[in-house]
Chains A and B, each alone.
Chain A
Amino acid sequence: ETGVTQSPTHLIKTRGQQVTLRCSSQSGHNTVSWYQQALGQGPQFIFQYYREEENGRGNFPPRFSGLQFPNYSSELNVNALELDDSALYLCASRPATTDTQYFGPGTRLTVL
């Protein structure tokens, strides 16, 4: 039990739509990262937030955006969905005292 939760579990959208995925982590986990995992691949880093500011980004276009809130929850927003956005989206949080990121169960997004 990592204490990291994500919602929804599954989501189906059509191309061009917008989607918001949510993550809630434990108290004290000031850093949250989002990853995209395509089928058969390892997770790819999207971006990271620390104390509500984005402080790192992977090779993803600006239509992938995020927010982090003071209550240790965060959001991943994807605009203008494309078929290739179909993937498992994983949220991971890290407490300040360790180097380890703890993952939530993920949201499986299907874009039709």
Chain B
Amino acid sequence: AQKITQTQPGMFVQEKEAVTLDCTYDTSDQSYGLFWYKQPSSGEMIFLIYQGSYDEQNATEGRYSLNFQKARKSANLVISASQLGDSAMYFCAMREGRPGLSGNTPLVFGKGTRLSVIA
């Protein structure tokens, strides 16, 4: 089974509108972390936002917020006031277990969603 599922291969949004990118995850661990990364065409993975499994509040970072619904195992990314520079691939990723100082902390990624912002 897929650990991270992103069901939207591509999304379009009008500039200045909000958009939600979907992500569901599968784990039996109680401790885990969820991440969203942005990958422009240049290739670099840019960290956007993080949600820990024990965090009670939804994470927010500027125009990015993470809609964390633990019972449904979903961690959707909401981008408010979309800008042309938001056009990129967006990846949801999960780290299972406690990382610790030296913990083996591989990220498992979904297949990504390509977001296109239209002027």
Q: Are A42 and B50 in contact (CB under 8 A)?
A: no
What is the interface of chain A, defined by CB distance below 8 A to chain B?
Answer: 2, 30-31, 33, 35, 40-45, 48, 50-51, 55-56, 58, 88, 90, 92, 94, 96, 99-106, 108
Report Cα–Cα, A105/B52, bound state, in Å.
26
Report Cα–Cα, A75/B87, bound state, in Å.
32
Q: Are A43 and B107 in contact (CB under 8 A)?
A: yes
9 contacts between A and B (CB under 8 A): A31-B102, A41-B111, A48-B105, A50-B101, A88-B43, A99-B105, A101-B107, A103-B46, A108-B43
- How many residues of B are in contact with the other chain, CB < 8 A? 27
Contact pattern, B 25-41, Cβ under 8 Å of A = 1, otherwise 0: 00000000101010000
Q: Are B43 and A45 in contact (CB under 8 A)?
A: no
Is B109 close to A, CB under 8 A?
yes
Find chain B residues with CB under 8 A from A108 CB: 43
